[in-house]
């Protein structure tokens, strides 16, 4: 399964961009007064100099810009705007009018068609689209439900609202997200593992590898001071950025 050459070419440029909330915490200590959501220019500059990436809002904004620069029609979609459960992604349209879900925030391996009549629409569990799981899709109007089939028969699902959100609402949702941190950081990045693409996941305490064989518990540093180097080694983020971000999260946990 492959989307159009134009969509695929842009998507591949984000292959090594993790979804992470460390940069959001770090940016809270760096942002000029009144500025919350980083511009695409800033994100590109930070990526080049510091190896940073961003959360699902950052990645959606970034991908939207890159697709439109390539002449691809694209709009933001998601669910739960202005809540802690929110998630953002991109709906891109190829030259023949087929729509593709492009979700960097959840670290999909590649875009997936959302039209139930499309020949590549994965009605049955399909491997190679999402790290560590096969996925099957079903659609009811603008609701696209993704079922994740994991090792051992475990299943979970997520539903996207494919009705594009207007850019003003999306911009305000981005700013809202940048003002709100959960108590623990999160980082997810696709990495090669044996003969598949796995997901390296870190929640501030431990790192695990999500694979088709289930979760693989990884050796964790004995102290939190070791995480900046390990995260740099895996995801490329400057250790000083990670250290500053962890200080922010530590203050949040202590203040409740």
* Residue 4 confidence class, pLDDT cut points 50, 70, 90: confident
Instruction: Provide the CATH topology of domain 5-255.
Output: Arylamine N-acetyltransferase fold (3.30.2140)
Radius of gyration of the chain (CA): 18
Through-space distance between the first and last CA atoms of the chain, rounded to whole angstroms: 46
Question: What tens digit of pLDDT does each residue of 24-40 get?
Answer: 999 999 999 888 999 99
CB-based contact 227:234 (threshold 8 Å) = no
Which pLDDT score is estimated for 1? 58
Average pLDDT value over all residues in the chain: 95
* Residue 48 confidence class, pLDDT cut points 50, 70, 90: very high
Question: What number is the average pLDDT over the span 113-132?
Answer: 96
**Closest listed residue to residue 181, CA positions, set 245, 239, 227:** 245
Distance, in Å, from the CA atom of 46 to the CA atom of 141, rounded to the nearest integer, reads 39
Distance, in Å, from the CA atom of 178 to the CA atom of 55, rounded to the nearest integer, reads 9
Question: What tens digit of pLDDT does each residue of 84-100 get?
Answer: 999 999 999 999 999 99
């Amino acid at each position: 399964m492959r989307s159009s050459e134009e969509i695929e070419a842009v998507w591949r440029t984000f292959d090594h961009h993790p979804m992470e909330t460390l940069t959001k915490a770090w940016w809270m200590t760096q942002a000029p007064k009144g500025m919350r959501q980083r511009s695409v220019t800033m994100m590109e500059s930070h990526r080049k100099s510091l190896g940073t990436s961003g959360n699902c809002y950052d990645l959606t904004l970034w991908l939207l810009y890159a697709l439109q620069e390539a002449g691809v029609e694209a709009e933001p979609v998601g669910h739960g705007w202005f809540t802690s459960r929110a998630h953002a992604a991109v709906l891109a349209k190829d030259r023949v009018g087929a729509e593709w879900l492009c979700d960097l925030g959840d670290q999909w391996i590649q875009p997936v068609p959302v039209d139930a009549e499309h020949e590549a629409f994965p009605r049955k569990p399909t491997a190679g689209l999402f790290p560590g799981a096969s996925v099957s899709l079903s659609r009811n109007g603008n609701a696209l439900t993704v079922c994740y089939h994991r090792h051992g028969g475990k299943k979970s699902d997520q539903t996207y609202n494919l009705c594009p959100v207007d850019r003003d609402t999306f911009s305000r949702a981005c700013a809202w997200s940048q003002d709100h941190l959960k108590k623990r950081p999160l980082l997810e990045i696709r990495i090669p593992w044996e003969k598949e693409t796995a997901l390296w996941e870190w929640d501030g305490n431990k790192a695990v590898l999500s694979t088709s064989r289930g979760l693989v518990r990884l050796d964790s540093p004995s102290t939190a001071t070791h995480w900046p180097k390990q995260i740099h080694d895996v995801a490329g983020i400057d250790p000083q950025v990670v250290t500053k971000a962890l200080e922010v999260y530590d203050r949040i946990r202590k203040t409740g």
